[in-house]
Structure 1
Amino acid sequence: MSGTFRKRGLLLGSCLAAVVGATAVPGTAYAADNLPPNRPAVKDLQTDFTPCATGDPAPYFSGPPVLTAVLSDPAEDDRPGYPEQVSGEFEIWWTDPAGVDQRRSYSSYPAYSGRLHRYEVPSDIPADTVISWRVRANDGTANGPWSSDAPDAACRFVYDNANPATPTVTSPEYPNDYRISDGVGVYGSFTMDSTSPDVVSYRYNFSDGTARTVQATEPGAPVTVRYMPPRSGTYTLSVEAFDRAGRSSNRTDYMFRVAPGRAPVSHWKLADPAGSTTATAETGSPAQAGTGVTFGGPAPQGTPLTSTARLDGSSHGYLTTGAPAVDTGKTFAVGAWVRPARTDRAMTVAGQDTDSGSGFALGLEGKDTGAAWTFAIGDAKVSGGAPETGEWAHLLGVYDAETGRAQLYVNGREVGTAAEASPVAAGGAFQIGRVRDGSGYKQRWQGEIGDLRTYDRVVVPKEVGELAQRKPSLLGHWSFETAADGATPEQNGGAPLKLGAGATIYKPTSGSCFPGRDPDCAYQPPALVDTGDLRLDGAGGHAALDGPVVNTGDSFTLGVVVQIPEADANRPMTVLSQAGEHTEAFKLRYEPSTYAWQLIMPERDEAGAPEKVVSQITGPAGSSGQGVRLAVVYDDATDTVKLFADGFTNAQATAHVPDGWKSGGPLQVGRGMTADGWGEYLKGDVDEIQAYAGALRDDDIVGLGWGTDPCLC
C-alpha cells in the first residue's frame, strides 16, 4: 500500500515538472546545477559609506564604521518567480601588539540578489590599528569567492578614538598681548599649530562669521595664513584643529587689537595760497609747480577741502617732487579729488618715474564710446566709471602685493574688473598732472586736482568711502507750524515759502473741547508732524520759493511728508516740483491709476524730452494712514536717483540718470507744470519739507520727516 502511494507521488512530481517545463519562457535556459554567488566587486564595497580603500595609507574614521556591500548570485540560478537570495559573510582582521592575528566575522540576513548588505563593526576594535576587511556571498548552498581574492585586495581602515590637542596661534604682527598693533589695511601672519601629529587641517574665523579651512602640507605640520584687518578694534581669531578621522579639537580663541589705518606716506592738499609755486606737503616732499599751475581753484562741495590746484593741460601744467612718494614695488595706493576740464583725450592725475617710464598712472582715457577712469601698473590696467567734464570725482587706485591685483575706486565704489598686475619699482620723482614714457612726459591734466595722497598699505573699502564722502548740507527745512504775512518761515532763518490762495497752515484745536461730550466740538485730526502742517485745497492752493531750492545739476536730497484723503485721490497731484526753462527738472506726484507716488525727471531741459520715471506703490495716505514720508535722492557721482516711500525701511525705487541738468525755476509745493500751465494741484496736507545739497546715505534717510534734521555723521 505504501509503495503504491510512493509511486503516485513520483508520478505526480513528474507531471508537475512537465507542466512547469511547458510554461517556461521560450529561449530561457536555467542552470541544471547550482552556481556559487558572484565575487563582490571592490566598487560595490564601502567603509562608512565611502569607497573601499585597498592601498596605503588607510583612511581614518572617528568611530567604528559601517561596512556595506552589494552581493549577487548568477542570473542563471534564478527560477521564474523565484529570484535567488544570498546572505553576506563579513570578516575583519588585524594584528595585535603581540603579533597575533585577530579576526571577527558576521553573517547578514538573506536578501534578494543585488541588494545591499551591512555590518556595523563592534566598538571594541583597537584604535590606531590598520584593520582589513572582506566579504563574500552565500546562496544557502555554496559560498562565493571573497572580495579580497585576486586581483583585488582587502579593504582597510583605521579607527581613531582621540580628539586632537587644542591648537595654538601666534602672530608677529598682531600679538595677543593687548597692545594695539598696526593696523587696518596691513597684512599679518597667523600660524596655527597642534601637538597632535595627525592634524591635517584647521578651521578658523576672524570675527566676521565666515569659517575658512586650511590644509596642512603633511599631518602634524603647522599652517600659516595671511590676514588683513578691514577695521580697527578688537578681533577674535577662533581656531579648531582636525585630524585624519575628522575629529575636531577644542576651540582656541586668539584675541588681538588693531589700530586705525596708517596715515598717508605722502599728502598734498593742493590748497596753497594763490600765487604759490610750491605745493606744501602734509607728509612727504613738497611738490614744485610749473607755470601752468594755479592755486586757489574751487573745491568739491561737502568735503573738508577749501581750494584746489588748477592745471592748464600745457607742458608747464604739472607738479613734481625730487623723490618718490611711495614704494611702488610693494603694496601701495594713490588717490585724489579731480575735476577734468575735458574728457576727449587721455589725461594723468599722478604717476611716479622709472628710468624710462612710470611705475603707475592714475587718470582717465578718452574712448570712441566715452571716457573712462583708469589705474595702470605696467601692462595691467583697470578701467571704469564715466568721467564728465566739469564734474568732481574721487579716484583711488590700489595695488595689493598679497593678491597681485590692481583695483580702481571712483567716488568710493569699485569700478571695472580688478587686474592681475606685476609691481614696477619706480624710484624716480612723483608726478602730478603728467606721466612719463620712453619719449618724455605726456597725458597732461587739464582741470582741478585736490587732496592727493599716497599710502604704503591697502586702503580698505570703508576708508575709500570715507575719503570720497561729500557730506550733504542743509539748504532748507520748513515745518509749517506758523505763518505770517502770507509766508511760512524756514526753520534756520532761510527763505520762507510764500503761501498762495487756497494754502493755509492747519493747526488742530480739538484738544480744547471734547467731541464726545460737546455736540458743537468737531473732531480735528492731528497734524502730520508736531502741531501744524500745510493744507492745500486742490483748486489752486500752493506754496513757492522765489528761486530754486536745490541745484538739480548736482547731487541733492529732498524729503517731505504728505497725505491725500482717500476720497480725493482720484486724479494726478503734484507734491513738489522745480522747473527749468522748458520743462521741470523734477516732479514728485501721486498717480491714482497705479496707487503710486512717482518721481519724474526729464533727461534734458526740452519740451517733450525723454523722462526717467520711478514709482513706489503705497496709496495716498501710506500704510499707517498718517501720511507718507517721501524722499528723493539724486547722486550725481553715481548717476542714480532713488525714490523712498512710506517709512524708508526698504521701500526704494532706482533709476539711472546720466546727466543731471541745472534748473533755475522756483520750488513749487502742491502744483506742477502741465500742457495748459500750472495744474495737478494737490488736495491734502504737506509737512516737513527738507532740502539738502548732496546725496544722503540710505541710513540717514530714515531721519527725515520727524521734525528734526538727521545726523549726517
Structure 2
Amino acid sequence: MHVRFAVRTALVAALLSAAVTATPSASAADNHLASRQPTGAPAAVAAQTPPVAAWRLDDRNRSERAAAWAGSYAGLPGPGVRFGDQGPDGNMPGAAYFDGGDFSYVNTQGAAVDTTHAFTAGVWVLPEETGRDMIAITQSGITSTSNFSLGTTTDAAGNPVWSFTLPSADGESRVTGGTPQAGEWAYLAGAYDPATGKARLYVDGAQVATADAAVPEDTILWNFVMGRDGDDRSKRWQGSLADVRLWDSVVAPAELAELGRRKPWLRAYWPMESAETCCDGLTIIPEVDHRADFLLGGDAHITTDDALAGTGSVSLDGDGDYLESNIPPLNTSRSWAVSAKVRLHGTPDRDMAVLSQLGRQADAFTLRYRSADRTWQALLAHADEPDATTTQIGGPAPGGTQTLLLQYDAKAGDVQLWIDGTLADSAPYAAADAWEAVQFLQAGRDSAADGVGAHYLDGDIDEVRTWAGALSGEEINSL
C-alpha cells in the first residue's frame, strides 16, 4: 500500500532539522510526568544499601573503560561491546550492547564481592535471544566453576529460564525461574545467605525461585566479568546490560523490588499551548523539549476558548483536519503508552479517531470514538498488513472532556484502556502480535485501507503524551 497522505520527505527533513536546532523549552516540563529521567543516575531508592562494586554501563560511545561508581575496578571492554545504547529507562547513553561474539565482554582486574559470605548481585538485562545459556555477569573461579553467575539457560523441556548459579562441594547449585523475553528489559538479581543456606533468584524485584546452597569456604575468588563465562569464555551474552551492582549483604526484597521497577520514560509531550510557523509557512506545534513536532493539517488550529487544559487546545472540525508528527515517538513493538485529553463536538453519528500510529501498511493502534454504541474503542493490529487481525478493547464515552490512555505492557502481555484514571478494559496481547510502526503518530485521524486519512475527529484535543514503558495506576491518576 502506498501511503499517499504522509508528509513529504523534504518536509520531514526540514522539520527534523528544526527540531534539532531549536532551543529546548522548559515551560511545561514541571507538569506531572513531563520531565525526563536524569541521564546516567541510578534510580532513587529509599534507604538504599550502598553496593561494594557497581557499574552503570552508561558510558559514552567509544569509551575505553566502563566507569565504576562503587568499588576499585573499572571495566575493560572487548571490541564486541558498544557503549551508548538506550537503557531500561529510555536514556541514551544508558546501557552497553554485547554482540555475542568472541570479544563480547567487559573484564575487571579483581574480585567484586566475597561470595563465600552473604552477597547480592543485580543487573538490568535485555537478551536478544533466549534459547541458549548466556551469562550476563559472573565472578570467575580458578576452576571451571565460577564464584557465581547470573544469566539465562533452558529447563529440561527446553524452555528459556533465568539462572543464578553458585559453586557447591560437588560442583554447582543452580536456581532457575521466570521466563526471559527476547528484546525486553528485566531486572535480574541473585542473593545468597549462608546463615539460612538459601540462594534466591529475583526477576523485576519479585522472587521467582529459591534453592538450598552452600558455597565452600575455601572457594578461591577471581575476577569479575560481564558478558561471558570468565573461565572458558563461553556462554557469551547477546543483548544489552545496564546498572550492575554487587552488595556484601542480603539486600531486602523491598529494595530489590524498587530497583527492579522499570520507570516509564516520557518520550514526547505536546501541551498544545501555542503553534509556530516553520518550513515554508507550515504551522507546527513543538514538543515541549523540541524532540518532535506536530504538523497541523487542514484547518486544525490552536484555540484559547474553553481550553481542555492550560491556555490552549487544538480544535478540529472533522473535515480533513489532523496533526501528524515528524518522527515516530513510540516503538510499538515494546511496552508503550499514549494519552490525550479529548472533547467531542456534540454527539457524533460516525466513528472518529483520536490517536493512531502508522506503519507501512496499517496502523499499529487506533484510539477512536465508536458511534454505534457511544464508546471509546482501541484497536491494535497483529501485523503491518491491511487485513490483519486486531485486538479490541473499549469503554464508555459519556461526553465532556475525558483523559484517555492506551498502553501495551509487554511483560504482562496485555493492552489496557484507561478513561479518566480508571481502567475501563484490558485484553491479552502477545509479544508475537506486537510490531514496530515506523511512520508517524497521528492525532485526529487514522488510516483507511487505501492509505488515505480517515475517521477525522470533530472535537478538541490536548495534552498528548507518549511513553516508553507501561505506567502504574498511580502514575496514570496523576494525569
Q: Per the shorter chain, which TM-score range?
A: 0.7 to 0.9
The structure-2 alpha-carbon separation of the partners of 1:506 and 1:578, relative to structure 1 and needing over 3 Å to count, comes to: same
8 Å Cα contact 2:88-2:94 kept in structure 1: no
Tell me the equivalent position of 2:210.
419
What residue number does 2:467 align with?
A: 692
TM, length-normalised to structure 2: 0.75
Task: Evaluate the alpha carbon distance shift between residue 287 and residue 442 of structure 1 in structure 2; reply closer, same or farther with a 3 A threshold.
Answer: farther
- Over aligned residues, Cα RMSD in angstroms? 3.4
Measure how far apart 1:487 and its partner are: 3.1
2:439 to 659, 662, 665: 665
* d(CA) in 1 for partners of 2:438, 2:75: 41
Structure 2 residue 339 is the aligned partner of structure 1 residue 564 = no
Greater mean alpha carbon deviation, residues 659-668 or residues 367-376? 367-376
Change (3 A) 1:562 1:270: closer
Q: 2:297 corresponds to which residue?
A: 500
Task: Give 1:365's aligned residue.
Answer: 153
The letter of the residue matching 2:242 is: G
Give, in whole Å, the separation in 2 of the partners of 1:536 and 1:456: 60
Q: Does 1:399 align with 2:192?
A: yes
How far off is 1:279 after superposition? 4.5
Tell me the residue number matched to 2:385.
Answer: 606
CA distance in 1, matches of 2:77, 2:463: 51
Matched position secondary structure for 2:259: helix
| Equivalent in the alignment of 1:467 | 259
The Cα of 1:581 is off from its aligned counterpart by 0.6
Deviation string, structure 1 residues 301-334 (Cα, Å, up to 9, x no partner): 6367735444443455434445432233343211
Aligned to 1:268: 55
Residue 582 of structure 1 aligns with an amino acid whose one-letter code is: Q
Distance in 1 of aligned mates of 2:418 and 2:87 = 26
Q: Is 1:628 the equivalent of 2:372?
A: no
- Once the two structures are TM-superposed, the CA of residue 369 in structure 1 deviates from its matched residue by 6.1
Q: Verify the 8 A CA contact 1:295 1:309 in the aligned structure 2.
A: yes
In structure 2, C-alpha distance between the alignment counterparts of 1:454 and 1:607, rounded to whole Å: 49
Counterpart check, 1:618 vs 2:415: no
Give yes or no for contact 1:297–1:308 (8 Å, CA) kept in 2. yes
What's the CA shift for 1:493? 6.2
Residue 202 of structure 2 aligns with which residue?
409
Between the aligned partners of 1:618 and 1:316, the Cα distance in structure 2 is 55
CA distance in 1, matches of 2:372, 2:64: 64
Q: C-alpha deviations, 1:495-520, integer Å up to 9, x for none?
A: 44333335344443xxxxxxxxxxxx
Contact 2:205 2:259 in 1 (8 A): no
Question: Aligned partners of 1:618, 1:657: CA distance in 2, in Å?
Answer: 25
1:479 positional shift: 2.0
Report the CA distance shift for 1:595/1:458 in structure 2 as closer, same or farther (over 3 A). farther
Name the SS for the 2:251 alignment partner: coil
Q: 1:381 to 1:686 in 2, by over 3 A?
A: same
Task: Name 1:376's counterpart in structure 2.
Answer: 165
User: Displacement of 1:620 after TM fit?
Assistant: 4.2
Which is worse superposed, 465-474 or 348-357? 465-474
In structure 1, C-alpha distance between the alignment counterparts of 2:97 and 2:345, rounded to whole Å:
55
Quickly say closer, same or farther: Cα 1:350–1:504, change in 2 above 3 A: closer
Deviations 1:99-157 (A, max 9, x none): xxxxxxxxxxxxxxxxxxxxxxxxxxxxxxxxxxxxxxxxxxxxxxxxxxxxxxxxxxx
* Superposed displacement of residue 566, structure 1: 5.5
Alignment of 1:132-281 (within 5 A): 260-271=47-58, 279-281=66-68
**1:345-364 deviation digits (Å, cap 9, x = unpaired):** 21111223444413432101
Secondary structure at the counterpart of residue 489 of structure 1: strand
Write the distance in 1 (CA, Å) between the matches of 2:75 and 2:317: 65
CA apart distance, 1:267:
1.6
What is the match of residue 153 of structure 1? none
CA distance in 1, matches of 2:256, 2:283: 44
In structure 1, distance between residues paired with 2:456 and 2:109: 66
CA distance in 2: counterparts of 1:650 and 1:691, whole angstroms:
18
Check whether the contact 2:63–2:83 (CA below 8 A) recurs between aligned residues: no
Match of 2:457 among 677, 682, 694: 682
Asked if the contact 2:125–2:188 (Cα under 8 Å) also holds between the matched residues in 1, the reply is: yes
Structure 2 letter corresponding to 1:546:
N
TM-score (norm 1): 0.52
One-letter code aligned to 1:498:
L
In our comparison, the structure showing a higher alpha carbon Rg is 1
SS in 2 for 1:463: helix
In 2, the alpha carbon distance for the partners of 1:366 and 1:609 equals: 33
Structure 1: unaligned runs, 5 residues or longer: 1-230, 233-259, 509-525, 705-713
Helix, strand or coil at the partner of 2:439? coil
After TM superposition, give the deviation of residue 547 of structure 1 in Å.
3.6
Deviations 1:628-673, CA, capped at 9 Å, x for gaps: 1111233445554332112x04546354341532212222222112
What is the 5 A alignment of 1:483-632?
487=283, 489-490=285-286, 492=288, 494=290, 495-508=292-305, 526-565=306-345, 567-568=347-348, 570-615=349-394, 617-621=395-399, 626-632=400-406
Distance 2:139 2:460 in 1: 60
2: CA distance, partners of 1:341 / 1:320: 21
Post-superposition Cα deviations, 1:39-87, rounded to whole Å, max 9, x if no partner, equal xxxxxxxxxxxxxxxxxxxxxxxxxxxxxxxxxxxxxxxxxxxxxxxxx
Distance 1:691 1:286 in 2: 39
Confirm or deny: 8 A CA contact 1:483 1:505 kept in the other structure.
no
Q: Which amino acid aligns with 1:421?
A: D
* 3-state secondary structure, aligned to 1:567: coil
SS in 2 for 1:700: helix
Instruction: Work out the percentage of aligned pairs sharing the same amino acid.
Output: 32
Asked whether the 8 Å contact 2:60–2:84 carries over to 1, the reply is: no
- Identify the residue that residue 225 of structure 2 maps to in structure 1: 431
Q: Give the whole-Å Cα distance in 2 for the aligned partners of 1:604 and 1:662.
A: 9
| Structure 1 residues 352 and 597, CA gap change in structure 2 (3 angstroms) | same
Are the counterparts in 2 of residues 292 and 313 from structure 1 also a CA contact under 8 Å?
A: no
| Contact 1:477/1:691, CA 8 A, preserved across alignment | no
Residues 604 and 399 (structure 1), Cα distance of their counterparts in 2 relative to 1, 3 Å cut = farther
* Maintained 8 Å contact 1:290/1:319: yes
CA distance in 1, matches of 2:57, 2:122: 13
Is contact 1:337-1:392 (8 Å) kept? yes
The Cα of 1:470 is off from its aligned counterpart by 4.1
Whichever residue aligns with residue 692 of structure 1, its letter is W
Larger relative contact order (C-alpha < 8 A, sep ≥ 6)? 2
Unaligned runs of 5+ in 2: 1-44, 167-171
Distance 1:322 1:651, change over 3 A: same
Displacement, 1:465? 4.5
